[in-house]
Amino acid sequence: MINTAEVIDTGTSILFVTLDSLRYDVARAALHAGQTPHLAKILPGGAWEERRTPGTFTLPAHIAFFSGFLPKLPQPVQPPRLWECRPPAFKTVDDGTFVFDAPNLLAGLAQHGYRTACIGGVTYFSRETPLGSVLPDMFQEAHWRTEFCSSEPDSTRHQVDQALAVAEEYADRPLFLFVNVSATHVPHGHYTGDSVDSWHSQTAALAYADEHLGRLIDSLISQRRWLIIMCADHGDAFGEDGYHGRGIAHPTVLNVPFAAMLMEPAATLTKHDPSPRQ
């Protein structure tokens, strides 16, 4: 079980990756088919957890994440949260949960000496509109360029290059590094040569992103200890029961992959607990 309060107290850096729109069944199938070998090496127990997202599209999901509400296990009893906003006086919080006394996680981490940096992907991180400024404005610094978008076939490579540059710049202080991987968000038909996005093209997009995410994680943990959290913000419907897209309460949208792990500089995973924190 990950003690996030200890993680923050010791100044351990944090990498939080959201694989935008990635369905749980796609992530699981790609893993079992050997299409994501770099992720397979680091996932606790060699598997994704199936969880339920608190939001059905990018904006509400990420606002929930940064407020302390990560995807939940599909069961009545939930483990303690990884992080949580300071609650009212009548509520108790597990000793291992990081409690931030601030409006959101990013402001709370800044109070503990962390540099918070966002590597945007989809346009909710672009600042091209007032709504597209809400999420990046939570961070001390935010990066977004058109080549980070899902329409760019090599978007993850560009995002990882930027993430590594940020990590190098702040190698001497605790860092909260957030990456919103856009490759798994539509459009991704270009990964299979199709004009229509599908379950298969999202699988191909994840297989593409796997190599660069492996490069990112290998580089980061070569220097210091990291808490790494990876999940999807929501899924995407590709015609199941007549549904298409996101922003709908359908299992293809609600079910997302999740993983959390502490990784040491020697790339030694901590023992996986079958009931990890949220």
pLDDT grade, residue 269 (50/70/90)? very low
CA 127 distance to own-chain centroid: 20
Percentage of the chain lying above the pLDDT 90 cut: 94
Residue range 125-136: mean pLDDT, rounded: 97
Q: Encode pLDDT of 16-36 as tens digits.
A: 999 999 999 999 999 999 999
C-alpha dihedral sign at 54, 55, 56, 62: negative
122, 58 contact by CB (below 8 A): yes
Q: Encode pLDDT of 219-228 as tens digits.
A: 999 989 999 9
Return the pLDDT at 114: 98
pLDDT grade, residue 266 (50/70/90)? low
Instruction: Could you list the beta-strand ranges (E) of the chain.
Output: 13-19, 49-52, 83-85, 98-100, 115-119, 141-143, 175-181, 226-231, 237-238, 244-245, 255-263
Q: Quickly tell me which residue has 């995807």 as its tokens.
A: 71
pTM value is 0.95
Q: Quickly tell me which residue has 């990013």 as its tokens.
A: 106
Q: Encode pLDDT of 145-198 as tens digits.
A: 999 999 999 999 999 999 999 999 999 999 999 999 999 999 999 999 999 999
Neighbours of 6 (CB within 10 A): 13
Return the pLDDT at 129: 96
Nearby residues of 130 by Cβ (< 8 Å), 6 or more positions away: none
Q: Encode pLDDT of 40-60 as tens digits.
A: 999 999 999 999 999 999 999
Return the pLDDT at 278: 54
Percentage of the chain lying above the pLDDT 70 cut: 95
By DSSP bridging, strand 141-143 and strand 115-119 are parallel
261, 270 contact by CB (below 8 A): yes
Cα 22 to Cα 11, 34, 179, 207, 252: the distances in Å are 30, 17, 14, 12, 9
Return the pLDDT at 238: 98
Return the pLDDT at 1: 81
Using only C-alpha atoms, the chain has a radius of gyration, in whole angstroms, of: 17
pLDDT grade, residue 267 (50/70/90)? very low
Q: Mean pLDDT score of the chain, rounded to an integer?
A: 95
Q: How many angstroms separate the CA atoms of 226 and 248, rounded?
A: 34
